[in-house]
């Protein structure tokens, strides 16, 4: 198969971790006899520096021309970077929002899995981490507060800011269908998260999700308020299979889920549209404080590449080989600094970002 990938290395540690993901993908294609080609484009702060905008129309066209997009990270230090002195529409994250909208990437899949080898890095009680967990957060990506009308005005002598939360029935229905379809391939459970005791948008969300659930009698549906879900994630994460939620709630909850895996450097993600096309990226940020030091954890980006093989190319064996390589390397005791247990350093083998990429690529086999 010919795989045509547009890459967005981005800012901070992005170029480092994308390099390692490419290294692993190249090995996969060699082992399984595929051809792969990459085209790098600029997005985020690097695009602002080069073109004055976080995402150009030419970059969008290059993304649309590919079979899938693999991304590193964008942005910088929000306190010190000149990028964040620009108006919001010109800041790095505006490029990502524009790309998601341009590509109609409405479904964000963020798996959170606790590897047994990383139990010591999990911040939860031992009795909780011993049970393990394997969940997938299905986040609606193109509606809600992030895309509603907003304004900041002077009213009676004081500044007033307004952000509008809007969801259409069709937007809710399509993400719900995707969640139930995925649940059918997992443990057949969907927990839909909302704030229906307060928000009209959540009451509509709950109504539409219940309608969709009628078409999936083999999948159980439970509703959970977002504040309770945040608590349950740290109390008993093993109860979750597929978590379905709206844009802002999903943004927050998926970051919480990532930290209980031991490190946000372990959490991959896929953003999909109605076709097989997708954008694949780690859930963590650009970590400008460690950029260029070769100490970032590339595993989330490598696992995102595995998701790309699975969802955009239907190459399940190849995706399995990457996930198996990750498990093997962890089992052998190799750790980047973010997943190195404090006080137990002598029991593990500390490796750099590039060394971790080498180890993962070396363990790819048919």
- What 3 state SS string does the chain have? CEEEEEEEEECCCHHHHHHHHHHHHHHHHHHHCCEEEEEECCCCHHHHHHHCCCCCHHHHHHHHHCCEEEEEECCCCCCCCHHHHCCHHHCHHHHHHHHHHHCCCCEEEEEEECCHHHHHHCCCCHHHHCCCCEEEEEEECCCCHHHCCEEEEEECCEEEEEECCCCCHHHHHHHHHHHHHHHHCCCCEEEEEECCCCCHHHHHHHHHHHHHHCCCCCCEEEEEEHHHHHHHHHHCHHHCCEEEECHHHHHHHHHHHHHHCCCHHHCEEEEECCCCCEEEEECCCCCCCCCCCCCCCCHHHHHHHHHHHHHCCCCHHHHHHHHHHHHHHHHCCEECHHHCCCCCHHHCEECCHHHHHHHHHHCCCC
Say whether 255 is catalytic. Answer: yes
Strands of the sheet containing 2-10, edge to edge, are 35-40, 2-10, 68-73, 278-282, 268-272, 107-113, 134-140, 242-245, 189-194, 220-225
Nearest to 353 by CA among 282, 283, 301: 301
Q: What pLDDT, on the 0 to 100 scale, is given for residue 283?
A: 84
Mean pLDDT, to the nearest integer, of 35-40? 98
Give the pTM: 0.86
* Active-site hit among 227, 236, 274, 320: 227
Q: What is the pLDDT of residues 294-330, one digit of tens each?
A: 999 999 999 999 999 999 999 999 999 999 999 999 9
* Active-site hit among 11, 194, 241, 251: 251
Q: What is the pLDDT of residues 247-260, one digit of tens each?
A: 999 999 998 988 88
Q: What is the pLDDT of residues 279-288, one digit of tens each?
A: 999 988 999 9
Say how many CA atoms lie within 13 Å of 301 toward its Cβ: 32
**Structural domains in the chain plus CATH codes:** 1-106+273-366 (3.40.718.10), 123-260 (3.40.718.10)
Q: What is the pLDDT of residues 263-273, one digit of tens each?
A: 778 889 999 99
Mean pLDDT, to the nearest integer, of 219-230? 98
Task: Note whether 15 and 9 are within 8 A (CB).
Answer: yes
Report the distance separating Cα 151 and Cα 143, nearest Å: 17
* Active-site hit among 26, 40, 120, 255: 255
Q: How confident is the model at residue 140 (pLDDT cuts 50, 70, 90)?
A: very high
Say whether 195 is catalytic. Answer: yes
Say whether 280 is catalytic. Answer: no
Report the distance separating Cα 150 and Cα 289, nearest Å: 32
Q: What pLDDT, on the 0 to 100 scale, is given for residue 108?
A: 95
Q: What is the pLDDT of residues 323-366, one digit of tens each?
A: 999 999 999 999 999 988 888 889 999 999 999 999 999 999 98
* Active-site hit among 67, 98, 146, 280: 146
* Active-site hit among 32, 38, 195, 362: 195
Q: What is the pLDDT of residues 181-194, one digit of tens each?
A: 999 999 999 999 99
Structure tokens at 129: 């981490």
Say whether 115 is catalytic. Answer: no
Mean pLDDT, to the nearest integer, of 1-23? 98
Report the distance separating Cα 341 and Cα 345, nearest Å: 6
Report the distance separating Cα 204 and Cα 241, nearest Å: 23
């Amino acid at each position: 198969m010919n795989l045509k990938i547009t890459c967005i290395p981005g800012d901070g540690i992005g170029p480092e971790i994308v390099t390692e993901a490419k290294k692993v993908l190249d090995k996969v294609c060699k082992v399984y006899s595929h051809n792969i080609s990459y085209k790098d484009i600029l997005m985020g702060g690097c695009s602002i520096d080069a073109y004055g905008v976080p995402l150009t129309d030419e970059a969008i066209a290059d993304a649309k021309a590919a079979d899938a997009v693999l991304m590193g990270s964008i942005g910088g230090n929000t306190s010190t970077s000149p990028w964040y002195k620009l108006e919001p529409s010109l800041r790095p994250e505006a490029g990502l929002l524009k790309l998601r909208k341009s590509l109609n990437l409405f479904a964000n899949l963020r798996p959170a899995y606790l590897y047994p080898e990383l139990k010591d890095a999990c911040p939860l009680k031992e009795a909780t981490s011993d049970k393990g967990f394997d969940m997938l957060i299905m986040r609606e990506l193109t509606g809600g507060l992030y895309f509603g009308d907003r304004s900041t005005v002077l009213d009676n002598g004081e500044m007033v800011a307004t952000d509008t939360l809007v969801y259409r029935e069709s937007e809710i229905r399509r993400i719900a269908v995707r969640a139930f379809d995925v649940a059918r391939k997992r443990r057949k459970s969907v927990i839909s998260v909302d704030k229906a005791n307060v928000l009209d948008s959540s009451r509509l969300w709950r109504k539409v999700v219940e309608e969709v659930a009628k078409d999936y009698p083999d999948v159980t549906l439970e509703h959970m308020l977002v504040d309770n879900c945040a608590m349950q994630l740290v109390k008993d994460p093993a109860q979750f299979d597929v978590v379905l939620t709206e844009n802002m709630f999903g943004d927050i909850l998926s970051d919480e889920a990532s930290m209980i895996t031991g490190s946000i450097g372990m959490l991959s993600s896929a953003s999909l549209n109605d076709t097989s096309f997708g954008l694949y990226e780690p859930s963590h940020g650009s970590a400008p404080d460690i950029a260029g030091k070769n100490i970032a954890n590339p595993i989330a980006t490598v696992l995102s590449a595995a998701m790309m093989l699975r969802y955009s190319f239907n190459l399940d064996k190849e995706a399995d080989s990457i996930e198996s390589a990750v498990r093997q390397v962890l089992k052998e005791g190799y750790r980047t600094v973010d997943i190195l247990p404090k006080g137990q350093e002598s029991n593990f083998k500390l490796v750099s970002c590039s060394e971790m990429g080498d180890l993962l690529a070396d363990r790819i086999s048919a």
